[in-house]
Structure 1
Amino acid sequence: MRITWIIFLLLLSIAGYAQHTRSVKGHIRDSAGNPLPGAVVMLVSDADSLALAVDTAGGFVFSKVRSPRFRLQASFIGYKTFIRQYQVAESAASILLDTIILADAQTRLGEIVVRATVPVKVKEDTIEYDAKAFKVREGDAVEEIVKKLPGMEVDKNGNMTVQGEPITRVKLNGKDFFGDDAAAAIQNLPADIVKNLQVIDDYGDKAAVTGVKGTTPEKILNINLEPDKEHGYYGKATGGLGTAGRYLGRLRSNILQGKRQIAFDGAVNNTESGDGISERRSVKVNYRDNWGAALESYGSYRYNNRQHDIIASTYSQSIFQDYTKIEDENRNSHSGQDQHRFSWNLEYQVDSSNYLKIEPDIAYNANSSHNTGLTKTFLPGGSSVKHNQSFSNASASDIGTELFYNHKFRKRGRNLSLEAEISVSGGDAYSDVKNRYTITDSSGNITNEDQLQLAATSNKVVRTEIEASYIEPLSAASYAVLEYEWDRSGTENIRNTSDVDPISGEQKPNLQQSNHYNYQFVTHRIGLSYQFKQEKLKYMIGMSAQPSLLKGQDLSRDNVTSRHLFNLIPVARLVYRFSRKKTFSARYYGRSRAPGFTQLQPLTDNSDLQNTVTGNPDLKPEFSNDLYLEYKQSDWSSGYTMLAKLALNQTRNKIVTTRVIIADSLKERTSYVNTDGFYHVKGFYTISRPFADRRYTLTYFGNAAFSNNIAFTNEERNVGKDLDIRQGLKFRLDLEDVVDAELNTAYSFNRTSYSSAAFEGRQVHRIFIRLGGRNYFFSNWTLGYDLSHTINNGYNTGNANPTLLNVYVERRFLKGNKGTLRLAGFDLFNENTGISRDVFDNRIVDRQHNRLARYFMLSFNYRLQDFGGG
């Protein structure tokens, strides 16, 4: 029977080969002549039914087409489908079709343009979201779109994180918008003028101009406007009064005239979320324009005044080899802050080969604080109570300029870049500290000790950096990059400390706590790397040599420190595109960190009598190995998105603390030492899948982190292992003009263990459930709600399980819905509180803070908008 089947299959295959077949080849391109990899091509005839995806060059090949007459269909999201019937010669063995051009899939209905949308596109360093795929309400700001983007988190103050990393800046059409105030940027633009939003791994100006990327990108958000919406204005004024003395006022405006953009954001309020109670006043101005055909100017000015009151309790466990030290602290504090910052950019395109950018930056800060606290400390040998009261004020300024120049040679790819930066920063600070210690020893004897100290500090830092980079093309796809960098920072610090007699009030200089030192840290870095670039594969590998010198002098004691250091620093980067929908990237780099000058000084700081700190002149620099892996995938037609990231950090000669409890006392002595064994691993993922034209979206997300921390307690090595796991699920419902809501659930788990026999390990569990959204009624009424419940277990500050409910009802009115009246209630159950846990080397710290309590507010909002006739 087996032989019969073999003969049958053999004859069948021979018959197949005997039938004449032919190959059909072709290319798919858009109207601009660009290839469309990923386009789907189908060939159908009486004898064939074949389908394939176009390759990265836009080409396709059907190798065994049996019928000389066939129908070819080519389709791609965002383009019209191509259909044509073909008849070729029976004897032809290979057919090359004319290039198939797919037209943009848009049709005009009167003044309305209907265009197919691609919700999410994954590119090398960019995830692009089509704004029209994420429906929002008329009058909404860009912030409402951002909240719906897969992998993006937006807190109640507008701060954004993506894949666990913060968005540090926002750009508008590729240029900085409101500097590093990302929240103001997304709150100051209307959503309906936006074309797309791009989350970008930004490698800096040099990478943008030359295409050669470094190793440490920052996450930024770029907002591109619709071309027909770049002329117009937008204004929004909000005012509100509430119970418990709550108030808010905000004025936002935008004027867009093509390249000229002027934006203003002014606010006063005492309704911010977060730990403590804050009162804030702020003014932000952003400007952009072309000063001639070759010069572009843009920048921002920001002023911020904040008064902050906080009530906090902290429970700390310090793990020693045979016992655990407990500190229970309660603290009240008030702080005030004034900030000014002026940032500017001048871009001069001298000609097609030369480019110059100048970035001046000026900042000034003034701070003051008043703290009172009570700290109880428990050890097997006794206990102590510390009453603390302190006052401080400080001012600081920072003035700097960065210059970037790039020259492109006639040979394609040959490039020279020069960068320079100089900054001068400094400030003065004053503090008045009063501590009273009540100490009880193991026999029950009680002693009191008072500490009254005044300190005045002045510091100045001058930093200069010069960098040159030369790129030489080795072939059409490969480059050699030679870099040199010189960096020098000089620091001078003067601290004068006096002890105050608690009875007479006499001040006596404390020479041990006073110092005057200056030091310089100078590094040279020369690096060589090889870079390869093709459509599917890009990689870079290189090595840098970095000699450095740390030298300084404590002028108060005539101590001189001089350290010569040398490091070899490898670097590597790889990007592989499986297709236009799938991208994998990896980057590795080594980096060195020298110990701080004060860490090297063999001096003792006893400003806290219960914990003195002494430097170690034998410290070596740390060297870290960092590896990042990232995978991005999206389905352009369905909107399915998957993002995953893994990061590993391993540090050699890690600078860690050593803590020793002084015999027969409650006092602790802290110093520093180098050790190996530290590493940290963290991972993140999000999987998002929309259904029914994005009416329903399901998102899975999670992250995990593990740290292997090293510390020395009572001269014995103590290994701490900290594991964090978080897993969540989101379900979003978007029914236009009916409901816009999201259900968010998450479970998180933290486990901490130490090698110390005195510590059994700790576990914290948290379950978080949140329902937030808006329901729309009778076209102009809206019910908004934000309900959340948190279940905490394992915290030492108490397992508060708050249920928070914020609700508002609003009505739109006036012509064009320009006016909105809102009645809102916040924290209706009056249970708002903040709980957190931090794990350090040999310490676990649980914190609990007060937060804004229940109040009600009536507010009015007035909006004006006109963009391109919209």
Structure 2
Amino acid sequence: MLKKTFIFILFTFSVLTVWAQKANIRGVVTDTVEKRKLENSAILLIRSSDSAMVKTTRADRNGKFELKNLSAGDYKILISYPKMADYIRNLRISDTSNIVLGDVNMELKSKVLKEVVIQATKSAVRMKGDTLVFQADSFAVRANANVQELLKRLPGIEVDKSGTIKAQGKMVKTVLVDGDEFFGDDPLLATKYLKANAVEEIQVYDKKSKSADLTGIDDGIKNKTINIKLKDNAKNGYLATIDLNTNVSDLGDYGGMAGIFKNKLKAAIYGNYSNLNNESKINNSMRKLKGEEYDLIEVGDDGSSIMYVSGDDDEDYIAASGGLPNNFGIGAYYADKFSKDKMGLKLNFKSFDNNNVNLTTTNSQELLPNETKFFSSGRTANNANVAGESVKGTFNYNTDAKSILKISFGASRNRNENTAVGGNETRGDNGIFISQNKQENTGNGHSDIFNGNINWSRKFEKKGRTISIDLQPESQNSNSTENSTNRTVYFNASGDSIRVENTDLRKKNTGKQNSIGMRVNYTDRLTKRWTFETGYSFKTISSGSNRLVFDNIASNPKKIDSLSNDFKFINFSNVGKMIWQYSYENFSISSGLEATQTNFELKDLDKQTDFERSYLNLSPRTNLLYKINNSNTLAVNYNGYMQQPSIDQLQPVRQINTPLYQIIGNSALRPSFTNSFGLSYNSFQFNSDQYISAYFNYGFTNNAIVSTELVDDFNKRISSFINANGNNSISGNLSYSKGFSKSHLRFGIDVGFNRSNTIAIINATQNKAANTQYNLRGSLNYYTQQIEFSYIPSASVMTGKSSIGEINDGRSLTHNHEISGTVQLPFNAEFNTSFSLSFRPANASFGQDLNTAIWNSYLSAKLLKSEALEIKLSVTDILNQKIGYNRFVGGNVTSEDTFSYIPRYVLIGLNWNLSGNFIKKTTER
């Protein structure tokens, strides 16, 4: 059905195009000197009135090309080929024109330069290989406009109010300046602070993964990337920003940053403080400043599940649903290249102190196989703090024209404190108490982390032959203490208390882990069409975990041997892989297998027992890519992977915070194997600014590791794990987007669905849960220099079914409407208003509608001739309808949660942006 839909859509658009256009252009591209036919020459037809690209194609192996079904009008035809000067010619076409250009003779650029023949104008849009190039000066923007405003004028590129960029329907995650990171690769920095009149070209392309870029073997990983090419006299500059927002009482969002870039040198310092729900804009901008990324050598379960692990780029992030934040951070960034770009250094330092206070409540209903229902409610007050410092860096050294040495490292020291006070209670069908629980936990800890990677890679003279070697040392140490008090009361059928359990525990945890890994990859192009890749990795891990638990109820704290433990973990893994790739013209297929052999030993030093295990993981993969033409691609992929049970699932470290929940391991667990299939289609017609994409995914797991629970009459749970079949998922999506440059309009529509089937065991009864979601989303955007408007409606229908029974019908509906508009007013003023309308109608589980209308607005004015100073008055949640509330309906479980939030507030803001490109004053475009 999906295939038929694709064919129907393509056929419909093809037919419409044929009906609307009639004229044709034909020709042959030839080298003037050697008289050879120039295969794959890029041919572009550009409308003279607005410089918009109308049609493009490439010459075949005989140099021939043809542009069909063209509307009447005045055009320019541009033909380009590497090392050749561009051929440009003006054409006037009628509805019945049949223009034969004959031989188009291309001149070498070197010859053209020697003859001092200069082409005065450049095409507004052109293809350069697989890169789409926009000539910046061909698109009019206001004086002092930044790069964001320039991007909004380019066909096929969208920029929303938060600065998020989409190109050809895909999210742009990386923005480079002259091919290098600009204070990291965050799109916000370069596009917000660089001026449009400093830009020569905007280049849009799909950036390959580091592995694919080195080996040439497609792994299916591509990131949409924009490269901003600066004019020659704008290579040096500076930028600074101060952003101050306050309600003149208790709320504030403050940040500042200063940076300088000079040729290859980039340096910046920044700081921020915020106690609003939104992150500081400065902190968000600078979050991605880091050393060079590298691929970790991963070997599956490495034992880290038994100890505290942290240290990624988001170590300063508190994962909380809602809450009242108080965040502070400072940092610095430095990057430069030396010795004629043979050497490069990047350094990033960050210090942070983030706090979150949150009051949450939960109400849930659960149906058991014997039709018993439990009604549970809980309330928790939580105060969490994370703080620390980190430094990351990368040193690059191009040892020769074909080899590069990269040394990357990261080190951090993190501290955390947490206090949680709460309780929960469970009632039966008759409303009588079954159990009550009150608990208080306080704890603190710290960790020291180091990780590094030394990589040497080389591309040989023979095309396609490469070698890459990695060495990765890692070290982690952690310490924590925790005090936990708990009081649990049990009731009989009459609601009378029959038993009380009190615990008062003090826990001390220490952990350490050291590992070393090595990886060697080799690729070779065996023939014109066949490429081969092989690799070997190993990793050895040695770690220890010591947990001491004391009973504080006694007059003298006494160690509890049954809860204390001292583990040592040793792991050694070998990984081998082999991949073949076949390429022919626009078609490529790669297929291979990765095998991981692991031995690990878990020693309980207290009980003098050992737990050993050896296993083999197999991960096959196949990727197929068919590039129908420059604008249409079809991809098919398959991945299979094994998942071993974790140590916690095999032999869990017994932990008790509440008597109502325990875990028991299952040493007989077998590994699971997941099969994942994917199909995707993408089409972008940049001449008509039209984008179509579709994907379909399906996966299933054999011997899935699933949970099994025994729930008694007091809602006390004993959890374990078994292997079972029946877990699978299916999802699909179809997207269409169309832009109308003359009308300044763009609209789009997305239709999607996903369904998951999972297996669990409850009281020895198998529960098959099926959750399905259908999504529909539209978008309409209008943009001029004076007005911006966007409307994004969306709807979602969710159903949940359970084989052991359902609470009501398990169905829910939501629909949302995002409306935003911005108007440019006299005296450099700007007014924005936005509405976020959310509708959650009543359903069988929740009898009340849950509708909110969040209305935000601001009025700002830019001062000074450079418009560098901005004052702003903003109001968030004008109608004061924001609520901290979520609800869920799914099969045999329903739940609703509340959390802390910041209600309506008014901010007065002052923003000062200073940037200079050291360029001569240019005429406004």
- Shared fold (TM-score greater than 0.5)? yes
- How many pairs are equivalent? 808
What is aligned with 2:327? 280
Match of 2:124 in 1: 116
Q: 2:258 aligns with which of 236, 253, 261?
A: 253
Residues 733 and 62 (structure 1 numbering): CA distance in 2 closer, same or farther, change over 3 Å? closer
Is 1:729 the counterpart of 2:778 in the alignment? Answer: yes
| CA 165–632 in structure 1, closer or farther in 2 if over 3 Å, else same | closer
Partner of 1:421: 472
Cα gap change, 1:82 to 1:638, in 2 (>3 Å): same
Cα distance in 1 between the residues matched to 2:90 and 2:189: 49
Asked if 2 retains the 8 angstrom alpha-carbon contact of 1:134 and 1:145, the reply is no
Q: Is the 8 A contact 1:606 1:613 kept in 2?
A: no
- Which residue identity is paired with 2:332? V
> d(CA) in 2 for partners of 1:75 and 1:587?
37
CA spacing shift, 1:489–1:593, aligned 2, 3 Å: farther
Corresponding residue number in structure 2 for 1:772: 820
**Distance verdict in 2 for CA 1:675–1:127, change over 3 Å:** farther
CA–CA separation in structure 1 for the residues paired with 2:155 and 2:359: 35
Corresponding residue number in structure 2 for 1:865: 915
Q: Which residue pairs with 2:308 in the alignment?
A: none
1:433 and 2:440 aligned: no
Aligned mate of 1:224, from 228, 242, 253: 228
Q: Runs of 5+ in structure 2 lacking a partner?
A: 1-24, 48-54, 68-73, 93-99, 110-119, 279-320
CA pair 844-243 structure 1, distance change in 2 beyond 3 A? farther
Of all paired residues, the percent bearing the same amino acid is 17
Q: State the shift of 1:172 in Å.
A: 4.9
CA distance in 2, matches of 1:147, 1:341: 40
Q: Which whole-Å CA distance do the structure 2 matches of 1:147 and 1:373 have between them?
A: 54
Is the Cα–Cα contact under 8 Å of residues 435 and 452 in structure 1 kept in the other structure?
A: yes
**Alignment partner of 1:801: what SS?**
strand
Contact 1:41–1:54 (CA under 8 A) maintained in structure 2: no
Query: Deviations for 1:257-285, whole angstroms, at most 9, x for unmatched residues?
Result: 12111233321122233722212112232
Contact 2:175–2:228, Cα closer than 8 Å, also in 1: no
Does the alignment pair 1:546 with 2:596? Answer: yes
Cross-structure match for 2:520: 468
Task: Indicate the residue corresponding to 1:635 in structure 2.
Answer: 685
Unmatched segments (≥5 aa) in structure 1: 1-22, 43-50, 64-70, 86-93, 104-111
How much does 1:202 deviate? 4.8
Query: 1:687 aligned to 2:687?
Result: no
1:791 is displaced (CA, Å) by: 0.8
1:718 Cα deviation (Å)? 0.8
What secondary structure sits across from 1:689 in the alignment? strand
Whichever residue aligns with residue 247 of structure 1, its letter is G
TM-superposed CA distance for 1:287, in Å, is 2.0
Pairing partner for 1:389 from 418, 440, 448:
440
Aligned partners of 2:898, 2:161: CA distance in 1, in Å?
19
Q: Which residue of 2 aligns with 1:297?
A: 345
Residue 551 of structure 1: CA displacement?
2.0
Structure 2: distance between partners of 1:83 and 1:359: 53
Counterpart pick for 1:659 among 680, 700, 709: 709
Alignment partner of 1:265 out of 260, 263, 270: 270
Map of 1:10 onto structure 2: none
Whether 2:64 is the aligned partner of 1:60: answer yes
Deviation at 1:391, TM superposition (A): 1.3
Amino acid at match of 1:209: L
Distance 2:755 2:193 in 1: 38
Give the one of 534, 538, 550 matched to 1:486: 538
Whole-angstrom distance in 1 between the partners of 2:168 and 2:445: 36
State the AA in 2 paired with 1:308: N
Q: Which residue of 2 aligns with 1:408?
A: 459
**Residues in 2 aligned to 1:52 and 1:171: alpha-carbon distance in whole angstroms:** 26
Stretch moving more, 569-578 or 839-848: 839-848
Distance apart, 1:155 and its partner CA = 9.2
1:569 maps to: 619
Whether 1:445 and 2:492 are equivalent positions in the alignment is no
In 1, distance between residues paired with 2:352 and 2:161? 20
Cα distance in 1, alignment partners of residues 634 and 418 from structure 2: 48
Distance apart, 1:320 and its partner CA: 2.9
Task: Give the RMSD, CA atoms, in angstroms.
Answer: 4.1
Q: How does 1:461-860 map to 2 (within 5 A)?
A: 461-501=513-553, 506-601=556-651, 604-662=654-712, 664-693=713-742, 695-736=744-785, 738-757=786-805, 759-793=807-841, 794=843, 800-836=850-886, 845-860=895-910
TM-score normalised by L of structure 1? 0.83
Aligned pairs for 1:22-37 within 5 A:
26-27=28-29, 35-37=40-42
Q: Measure, in 2, the Cα distance between the counterparts of 1:373 and 1:338.
A: 25
Structure 2 SS opposite 1:816: coil
Q: What is the alpha-carbon distance in structure 1 between the residues aligned to residue 832 and residue 684 of structure 2? A: 32
Bigger shift: residues 371-380 or 455-464: 371-380
Mapped contact 2:156–2:690 kept (Cα < 8 A)? no
TM-score by length of 2: 0.78
1:327 is aligned to 376
Code of the residue aligned with 2:735 in structure 1: it is T
CA contact (8 A) 2:42 2:56 kept: no
Deviation at 1:424, TM superposition (A): 0.8
> How far apart, CA to CA, are the structure 2 residues paired with 1:151 and 1:751?
36
Separation in 2, partners of 1:134, 1:330: 57
Classify 1:114/1:219 alpha carbon distance in 2 versus 1 (closer, same or farther; 3 Å).
closer
Equivalent residue of 1:275, what SS? coil
User: In structure 2, what is the equivalent of residue 337 of structure 1?
Assistant: 386
Deviates more, 1:182-191 or 1:812-821: 182-191
Match of 1:82 among 89, 95, 112: 89
Does the aligned pair in 2 maintain the 1:604–1:615 contact within 8 Å?
A: no
Equivalent-residue separation in structure 1 for 2:362 and 2:135 (angstroms): 45
- Alpha-carbon contact 1:835-1:846 (below 8 Å) kept: yes
- 1:472, CA displacement in angstroms? 2.0
Give yes or no for contact 2:182–2:266 (8 Å, CA) kept in 1.
no
Structure 1 contact 378–384 (Cα < 8 Å) conserved:
yes
Deviations 1:341-383 (A, max 9, x none): 2221212111122211111111222111122223222345952
Q: Which amino acid aligns with 2:337?
A: N
Please tell me whether the aligned partners of residues 371 and 391 of structure 1 are also in contact (alpha carbons under 8 angstroms).
yes
CA contact (8 A) 1:362 1:400 kept: yes
In structure 1, the residue corresponding to 2:722 is in which secondary structure?
A: strand
Whole-angstrom distance in 1 between the partners of 2:249 and 2:733: 41
The change in CA–CA distance for 1:461 and 1:643 in structure 2 (over 3 A counts) is farther
